[in-house]
Structure 1
Amino acid sequence: MTIRHLKIFIAVAETGKMSLAAKKLYLAQPTISQAIHELEAHYHTQLFDRLSKRLYITETGRELLDLARNAVRAFEDLELHMENCTQTEHFRIGATVTVGSCLLPSLLEDFRQRKPQVDTFSFIGNTAMIEDKLLKSELDAGIVEGVIKSPDLISIPMVEDYLVLACSKDHPFASLTSFCPSDLEGLDFVMREKGSGTRALFEEYLHASHIHIRCRIEAPFPEAMKHAILYNHCMAVISVRLIEEELQKGTIHMLPHPEHAWNRTFNLVYHKDKLLTDSMFHLKNLLLQYRRPEIG
């Protein structure tokens, strides 16, 4: 039994004749007759009384008629809904907190201007969260600075970035132009949360240099980190892109790593089995416009 059977049944019930139903549906009369016989065989019941070459719907037929109309109406609503869905492309972009704070707003606006017909959704979290959502197909693409662990995800370096040692203008380090790893021993820091690519890179550096610091504040957001730098005498290792305004104002002092050990990239990430749509290629091309930080 199919929707086609139900549509034929409704037409026969409403016209009272198979010939009229055939004309209404632009079908041959034997096709109409066969469909009714198949319905009656399927439900093991008689849907019409055939008297003097006329059809009279049975009580069971009347019950089926109401249900059939509801089923056909629901099916047509489903078809219309899915047609509208397929006409609108949806593109879900995930970004880490750093990317979401310094790149994503302008990136989304550029994307909207080039692809206004695409319905976009954005999620901001740390690298581990973005990776998890990509693996669960809750996102189509991600832009992250951390290391992707899953072999099922493709990670393409797209945008250059680097971390700097940041402190307030009143901090003792504000008079320095360079530093060595041992200078950081025992100092107070504000750190990103675990799962952050920024934190992972800095912790790897500390471990390799055998340096121990004091994590006084753990903050998942750049603004909270900058407040800890400015008002709580903490230092931070943070993306230079996130403190451009404070650097211009002179409220935060930065020290790049002398050996460029904190250089990194923002990577475009997607599942290896993901269908690469036109939106994915547009996103990739847009990212090339943000290749280098303005402060370098």
Structure 2
Amino acid sequence: MKYSLRQLEVFLATAFHENLTRAAESLAMSQSAASSALRDLENQFGIQLFDRVGKRLQLNELGQSIRPRAQALMEQAEGLELALGRQHASGNLKVGATLSIGNYLAVEIMARYMREQNGARVKLEVANTSSIVQRVLNFELDIGLIEGEAHHPELDMLPWREDNLVVFCAPDHPWAGRPWLTDTDLLEAQWIIREPGSGTRQHFEWAMHGLFPQLQIMLELQHTEAIKRAVEAGLGIGCLSAITLVEAFERGSLVPLPVPHRDFRRRFYFALQRNKFRSTGIEHWLRLCREQGQKSGGGHPRN
């Protein structure tokens, strides 16, 4: 074999950091050793994997085509090392979740995973859909749990569970208790909604097709709790996932506003890098997520 796993480690670290010094530091190597490993890999095959752009080392077309295969090979090697060491084959996981999922669903799944996979750790990152998708594509996360749809040739989108968005207001809002809202009402409302790039915002725009450009958007906020507090304060009406509003509706601090003629149904998805090796741990995580969705019924009444 003309290449070593160490050479592939240096290649992948350099692709991630786009800098040989930072790549060497991440691998606890000297810069000269990392440079030698990368140079030997390229020389053995008479190829070049990076283009120098200013101070950055950027993957060229060949490097981009090789990267997912090298990543998959390294992950399989790590799995073999764990198995040979008689440790848990599932290992640790890096999971990304959008805000609604991360704050209201993922922690319970994470706790169960760590109980069932003795010694395994889960690193949970919470961000909006576009950020999670980009990190999955870049092999920085093992799996993404997202609210919006994403399309990319290197991305596998697997359906997970059903969800609804719900329009809501404060209990003392003039519309509280209304049997339904019309399109005229929706255009008159002052809206407090999620920011562009979030799955909730994406589906809200879809549900409001034909109206969205004319809506009066008062605030765009990144956090569901901030939106709920702003609506409670009477600044406008909001629209969020049903899973984020259960407790507020039970307390009576917020009330739903039915909009039956608009389709607020949507689906949560698993986002996976198509070229990434799916370890036992990833498969176990997927199974736990699906079991949780089945247990909860996987959805909510239509808005």
Give the shorter-chain TM-score range: 0.5 to 0.7
- Helix, strand or coil at the partner of 1:285: helix
What is the identity, as a one-letter code, of the residue corresponding to 2:247? E
- Helix, strand or coil at the partner of 2:289: helix
Change (3 A) 1:210 1:231: closer
Which residue does 1:100 correspond to in 2?
102
Q: Work out which of the two has the higher radius of gyration on C-alpha atoms and give 1 or 2.
A: 1
What is the identity, as a one-letter code, of the residue corresponding to 1:99? I
Which residue does 1:183 correspond to in 2?
185
Cα separation, 2, equivalents of 1:116 and 1:219? 38
Cα separation, 1, equivalents of 2:285 and 2:147? 16
- Contact 1:166 1:255 survives alignment (8 Å): yes
Q: 1:200 aligns with which of 199, 202, 205?
A: 202
1:162 equivalenced with 2:179 (yes/no): no
What is the Cα deviation at residue 232 of structure 1?
Answer: 3.2
- Contact 1:101 1:222 survives alignment (8 Å): no
- Helix, strand or coil at the partner of 1:161: strand
Which residue does 1:258 correspond to in 2?
260
What is the Cα deviation at residue 295 of structure 1?
Answer: 5.4
Higher mean C-alpha displacement, 185-194 vs 198-207: 198-207
Which residue does 1:10 correspond to in 2?
none
Change (3 A) 1:295 1:84: closer
What is the identity, as a one-letter code, of the residue corresponding to 1:207? H
Which residue does 1:146 correspond to in 2?
148
Which residue does 1:123 correspond to in 2?
125
Which residue does 1:240 correspond to in 2?
242
Q: 2:224 aligns with which of 222, 225, 238?
A: 222
Cα separation, 2, equivalents of 1:244 and 1:182? 27
1:267 equivalenced with 2:269 (yes/no): yes
- Helix, strand or coil at the partner of 1:265: strand
What is the identity, as a one-letter code, of the residue corresponding to 1:290? G
Change (3 A) 1:271 1:162: same
Cα separation, 2, equivalents of 1:152 and 1:211? 32
What is the Cα deviation at residue 180 of structure 1?
Answer: 2.5
- Contact 1:182 1:211 survives alignment (8 Å): no
Change (3 A) 1:285 1:256: farther
Higher mean C-alpha displacement, 228-237 vs 126-135: 228-237
What is the Cα deviation at residue 123 of structure 1?
Answer: 0.7
Cα separation, 2, equivalents of 1:143 and 1:127? 9
What is the identity, as a one-letter code, of the residue corresponding to 1:187? A
Which residue does 1:290 correspond to in 2?
293
- Contact 2:170 2:234 survives alignment (8 Å): no
Deviation digits for residues 117-143 of structure 1, max 9, x if unmatched? 222111110000011001110000000
Change (3 A) 1:217 1:118: same
Cα separation, 1, equivalents of 2:82 and 2:281? 18
- Contact 2:162 2:299 survives alignment (8 Å): no
Which residue does 2:54 correspond to in 1?
none
What is the identity, as a one-letter code, of the residue corresponding to 1:191? I
Change (3 A) 1:102 1:286: same
Deviation digits for residues 63-104 of structure 1, max 9, x if unmatched? xxxxxxxxxxxxxxxxxxx96898572211000011111111
Listed as ranges, the gaps of 5+ residues in structure 1 are 1-81
Runs of 4+, deviation exceeding 4 Å? 82-88
Give the structure-2-normalised TM-score: 0.66
What is the Cα deviation at residue 209 of structure 1?
Answer: 3.8
What is the Cα deviation at residue 262 of structure 1?
Answer: 1.0
Q: CA RMSD in A?
A: 2.2
The number of residue pairs the alignment matches comes to 215
- Contact 2:186 2:215 survives alignment (8 Å): yes
Cα separation, 1, equivalents of 2:109 and 2:81? 29
Cα separation, 2, equivalents of 1:215 and 1:131? 26
Listed as ranges, the gaps of 5+ residues in structure 2 are 1-79
What is the Cα deviation at residue 183 of structure 1?
Answer: 1.6
What is the Cα deviation at residue 115 of structure 1?
Answer: 1.4
- Contact 2:173 2:234 survives alignment (8 Å): no
Cα separation, 1, equivalents of 2:286 and 2:94? 14
- Contact 2:161 2:299 survives alignment (8 Å): no
